Structure 1
């Protein structure tokens, strides 16, 4: 009987990743194909006696205490999606933004930052902004491409703005402080949001026809300045509860997630929006989302465990570190791999499959793994928008008017992708942008 171990780790690596790419191109779910490849190599390379080692690795992943933060933040996003907290925030921001050129697009980005800082869930923000902001901008006569690009780019900010789920998963897989990752991501996230705002304001100043301002009657219909302040203060309270408890040293990330859920529940109850149906639908959505994350995590943990036993991590590290090139070129090579994988895979699978291999190489090159976590998130943000399988386009398409096609969406996001790449280049060339607050 032929044993896979006879191939050697070099050819075994090519076979392993080749099988994954073929199965992905066949449309197989990532969790199932990763688990299948893991079992195939575990039994074919070592025999059935290796299975107890895989179960122990899976148990260590599932038993990770910090992982509890993920369902808590997903539940927060689900509750926000089913109450009027985000809708009222968006309407209140129009009181300030509607009076300037491109103001509705600007308020959309500001609300996107608020939503990201409340929940850290990416797809939900894009859908929510697609339902709230896109119809409003199109009704006011905004340029279609500017409106679509603003919604997609704003929704993708959830990749970086703490408490980002991407940062949490990276911290778990790379064994890096999640609190440090949150701190490091603040400056790059604000810098990128600033790029978006400047771009919109400059374009609308040079081409006023792109963004007509709202009429005076629309701007005055807000129910009074008191209501505007309360609608903006409510999400601010949630952000203070979550991020304030983390940065203030009061709570860990996991505890802060639970505090955030409590704050949203209390706020919804005070606003008389906490109904049984809302809670039930939010819990069901949380179970579905977290079930996907857990199954991908289980399969990826098994595959990485098998690959490490094969000697794959040492092989990849030795091959990359043995290249006679500068460390910066090696980092660029890794980012190229991440962007390529982002064309076919979800960010969760990419993080769980690549970070256990990439992070030791990064530290071996002398780079800070916290900085690389921010770089990884920025890479995933690019893949979130870019064709052919940019998730943001499909999230927005699900709630956009029928006349807006996927071609319209992908052709609208290119200016924002270029700004993402510019921000990524700045952080790569100047790690201090990410590490300044951490070191401070």
Structure 2
């Protein structure tokens, strides 16, 4: 019975979370209760808990994690500068007259907004407020309109620079080093956030392309859901000029942030600082930077950052107690004994992460689940970049899946009462199928995630 205590502790933490208690306190509290019981019965070594100060010191001195508040600040500032609103208006005007043009515009703007903010909730809410009324007014079926917005909103999980990828990169780096130590390999090789950013580019663009193909196909074959556009733009050159004016600043900012990382000029943290400064400058040039906006952005950034680090502290205590009970060895032995080897183990982990995505945000899953299963799977030979992109895509799919998908709740909160919840559920199903197709393609051809990093960093 004692050997299964790590799994019992994990199940207990999930049950506590289902009761609605704060994630950080649930993780730390559950772990400390189990540790106290283990110390009292002599089955737990208190030395693991005594390592907590060193672990926390490592967190606050971690250079990579500094990118989190900087990217959050960048996203919040761009959101307040009305970036998406102007982009959508210009792009919709350019596509006016082409069937499904508005839906395609929403997909493209959603991709750019995801690359700018990296925050799923912010993207879904923003796109819901500015594009849903327009799509309904143009005759789009509620299911198509809501499904498109929910799906494009979750692109913030996979399109770099994504906060999810920043956190995954840091956790996977530790898991990869742990896996190497377990195998008796002492190498300086690690997994960087830049590797994940580069690896996510092709799968992210493929996903956007599949979304656009689906919207275009529905516009052609189901005019009852996406009515044809009769109105033509009055002056195409003027519209294109307006689009160029709205598109250039955010696109330039994204290129500078990503380009500096990919070229090796800057680390992700340094690039995040450039992005935060650039977003502030952009808001200033658009005359949107007021004292109230600055105060609101700083408060939001502080709130999100505190939440991330508090969860990280709770998850660190949880992982120490989990390791103290021999959880790493238990997971490794369970995976090794599974029929089908690494394939079955990976499939089981992906299913568990998908299900946990219903009740946990990506931050909790990244900090709790990945440190537990990551070292064992990476020791079995999985490519860490491919594994990270698979997790990000998997969580993105989970956030779309009824009835608990986070993206659905975000949109439900800003959608008018005339939109039935069943319409939102029905609208996301085709996009879930597209997500699963992309996951299958990535599983069949890992090169979709690994080819570009190998090409750039070789």
What is the TM-score of this pair, normalised by structure 2?
Answer: 0.90
Residue 20 of structure 1 pairs with residue 20 of structure 2: no
Q: Which is worse superposed, 283-292 or 403-412? A: 403-412
Cα 1:207/1:224, change in 2 over 3 Å: closer
Asked whether 1:100 is paired with 2:93, we answer no
1:47-66 pair list within 5 angstroms: 51-66=49-64
Q: Retained in 2: the 8 A contact 1:181–1:373?
A: yes
Matching residue of 1:8: 2
Among residues 103, 108, 126, which one is paired with 1:128 in the alignment? 126
Q: Is the Cα contact below 8 Å between 1:157 and 1:189 reproduced in 2?
A: yes
Distance in 1, Cα, partners of 2:101 & 2:416: 22
Match of 1:330 among 336, 345, 351: 345
Q: Deviations over 1:394-420 (max 9, x none)?
A: 111121112223332122101100110
SS of corresponding position for 2:244: helix
Name the counterpart of 1:306: 321
**Moved >6 Å (runs of 4+):** none
Alpha-carbon RMSD across the aligned residues, in angstroms, is 1.9
- Partners of 1:328 and 1:50 lie apart in 2 by 32
Write the mapping of 1:172-251 to structure 2, written as runs, cut at 5 A: 172-175=170-173, 176-213=191-228, 216=231, 225-251=240-266
- 1:148 corresponds to which residue? 146
Aligned residues: 433
| Residue ranges of structure 1 left out of the alignment (5+ in a row) | 1-6
The residue aligned with 2:180 is none
Please state if 1:35 is matched with 2:50: no
1:205-260 C-alpha deviation (Å, 9 max, x unpaired):
01223223556477659975433321111211111221111112211100111101
**Contact 1:375–1:427 (CA under 8 A) maintained in structure 2:** yes
Q: TM-score, normalised by structure 1?
A: 0.94
The gaps in structure 2 that reach 5 residues or longer are: 41-45, 174-190
The 3-state SS of whatever aligns with 2:414 is: coil
1:379 and 2:372 matched: no
User: Which residue pairs with 1:76 in the alignment?
Assistant: 74
Residue in 1 that maps onto 2:176: none
Shift of 1:178: 0.7
In 2, Cα distance between equivalents of 1:256 and 1:88: 25
- Cα distance in 2 for partners of 1:199, 1:55 equals 51
**Quick one: structure 1 residues 15 and 349, their matched pair in 2 at CA, closer, same or farther if it must change by over 3 Å?**
same
Shift of 1:192: 1.0
Give yes or no for contact 1:159–1:377 (8 Å, CA) kept in 2: yes
Q: Distance in 2 between matches of 1:276 and 1:36?
A: 40
CA shift for structure 1 position 76: 1.3
What is the alpha-carbon distance in structure 2 between the residues aligned to residue 291 and residue 222 of structure 1? 47
Q: Distance in 1 between matches of 2:208 and 2:243?
A: 23
Which whole-Å CA distance do the structure 2 matches of 1:335 and 1:342 have between them? 10
| Alignment partners' CA distance in 1, 2:96 and 2:153 | 20
